[in-house]
Amino acid sequence: MNSVIGEKKRLQTISEMSMYSSGVMSTAISYCFKIVSRFINGESILEMGPAEGVMTGLLATLNKKMAIVEGSSLFCDDLRKRFPQAEIVNALFEEFNPSVKFDTIILGHVLEHVNDPVDILSRAKMWLKPDVGRIFAAVPNAHSLHRQAAVVMGILTAEDSLNEMDVHHGHRRVFNPESFRDAFYVAGLNIEVFGGYWLKPVSNKQIEDNWTPQMLDAFMQLGERYPDIAGEIYIVALRNTGS
């Protein structure tokens, strides 16, 4: 119980100073939505941990039946006002127990925050509709060019070290492509697609100060060509038969 209370307080503190969708990140979320849209089938969507709801607003344009689980009451209060058509549950993922199964479950920048990514994926797996349900998850990539450059320059001790913004956002880890895939395998999920977006040679601040919208869009697309070194990586996964 104390761990649940502590985690909720932690999420509340993070939400009060949130910068999830600030600056260039709003563009990145919009591009991620373009990718998500390729894989959405069926009529129901569960979005886990939407924070300020930038992705939520884009998903709402699809006119699907939407459910949301979010651990921050601050975010939930705002989401209820903006998306009255959605079922919004204020709970930790570990507390969530939906009565229905979903066609699509979306975890956008979630797994780097949680205590146990494999446990969360294992739970989400059971909320999928049998045979047809898919999980889409995206996370920052430790192998991103800007992180590799930071190691060369001595700014980071390792590619997966937490930088200042990681700490601000409450990240607990930075996945690389191998560790990201491993979490899905251990959770009993079958990876259908591994990909990336946003080839990112420099920091968000440098991009915001110097890049044009056309440059940013081009580098978003280039990340799809070179996923292993893209700024963001994603996985589309199915529940293994019998799991």
Domain that holds residue 135: 2-239
pLDDT at 8: 65
211: left (phi over 0), alpha (psi -120 to 50) or beta: beta
Query: How many domains, the chain?
Result: 1
Q: Could you tell me if 98 and 67 are in contact, meaning their C-beta atoms sit under 8 angstroms apart?
A: yes
For 82-107, write each residue's pLDDT tens digit. Answer: 999 999 999 999 999 999 999 999 99
Average of per-residue pLDDT across 200-204: 95
pLDDT at 164: 86
Q: Which of 48, 40, 215 is nearest to 133 (CA)?
A: 40
Supply the mean pLDDT for the chain.
93
Average of per-residue pLDDT across 133-149: 98
Average of per-residue pLDDT across 155-174: 91
CATH of the domain at 59: 3.40.50.150
Residue 123 has pLDDT above 70, yes or no: yes
Residue 147 has pLDDT above 80, yes or no: yes
For 3-51, write each residue's pLDDT tens digit. Answer: 777 776 666 666 656 656 668 999 999 999 999 999 999 999 999 999 9
CB neighbours of 127 closer than 8 A, spacing ≥ 6? 46, 98, 101, 102, 105, 133
Report yes or no on whether pTM surpasses 0.95.
no
18: left (phi over 0), alpha (psi -120 to 50) or beta: beta
* Kind of pairing between the strands at 232-239 and 189-197: antiparallel
pLDDT at 166: 84
